[in-house]
Amino acid sequence: MESSRSLPLDVLQQKCAEHSTRFFRQEPYNPRFCFEIFRRAIVERNEEAWDIIYHQYRPLLDSWFRRHPLGETFRTERDELVLRAFERFWQAVSPEKFSSFPGLAGILRYLQLCIHATLTDAMRYRQRNNLLMDDGEEMLRQHVQNGGENTLEALLIQRERSVAIWQWVERHC
C-alpha cells in the first residue's frame, strides 16, 4: 500500500473526498488521506492543504453549527462564526500539538469543539453587550430622573467601570 505522505496533494484531496463520501454512506473507508491533508496543513503549514480542508470540511462545520443549541440564535452570522471556528482551530493546533491527535476522528472532534466554543463565546459577547446597553439606558434614565444632577462625565466614568468589570470577568472566568 502506497504511503499517503508520498501522494501529491491533489490526489489526497480526491481520495479524501471519496473516503468521506464512503464514511457518510456507512461504507468501508480509510481516513488516512484526510488525516494526511491535516498533517500537511498543520505540521508543514501548507496553505494549499488548509484551503482543501476548508472546502472539504466547511459543510460538516455548517451542519454542526445548525444542530448546535445556539445555532438558530446566530443563524444570520453562521458564515462568520464558522470561519472563526476554523481560525480558532488553526491558532490552537500547532505543529507540536498535532502529534496528540491519534487520527482523523480526534481532529474532527476538536473542530466540533471549536464550533461549540465559538458559539458560546458569541453568546457571552451578546449577553455582555446587552447588559452594557441595559446599564447605559438605566444610567440615562437615572440622569433624567435626577434632573441632570449626574454629569455626563460621571455617567461615562460609571460606564467605563462597568466595561472594565466585564473585561475582568471574561479574563478570569
With a cut of 70, list the residues of the chain below it in pLDDT: 1-2, 131-159, 164, 169, 172-173
Q: How many residues does the chain have?
A: 173
**Residue 74 confidence (pLDDT):** 84
CA 155 to chain centre: 35
Give the Cα separation of 39 and 93 in Å (integer).
11
Longest Cα–Cα distance in the chain: 83
Q: Check: CB of residue 4 under 8 Å from CB of residue 36.
A: yes
**Residue 77 confidence (pLDDT):** 87
Give the Cα separation of 103 and 3 in Å (integer).
15
Residue 2 gets the label, from left (phi > 0), alpha (psi -120 to 50) or beta, of beta
Give the Cα separation of 102 and 91 in Å (integer).
19
Phi first, then psi: what are they for 44, rounded to 5°? -90, -5
User: Could you state, in order of their start, the residue ranges of all structural domains in the chain?
Assistant: 4-172
- Residue 37 makes CB contacts below 8 A (sequence gap 6+) with 9, 12, 13, 16, 49, 52, 53, 56
What tens digit of pLDDT does each residue of 54-67 get? 999 999 999 999 99
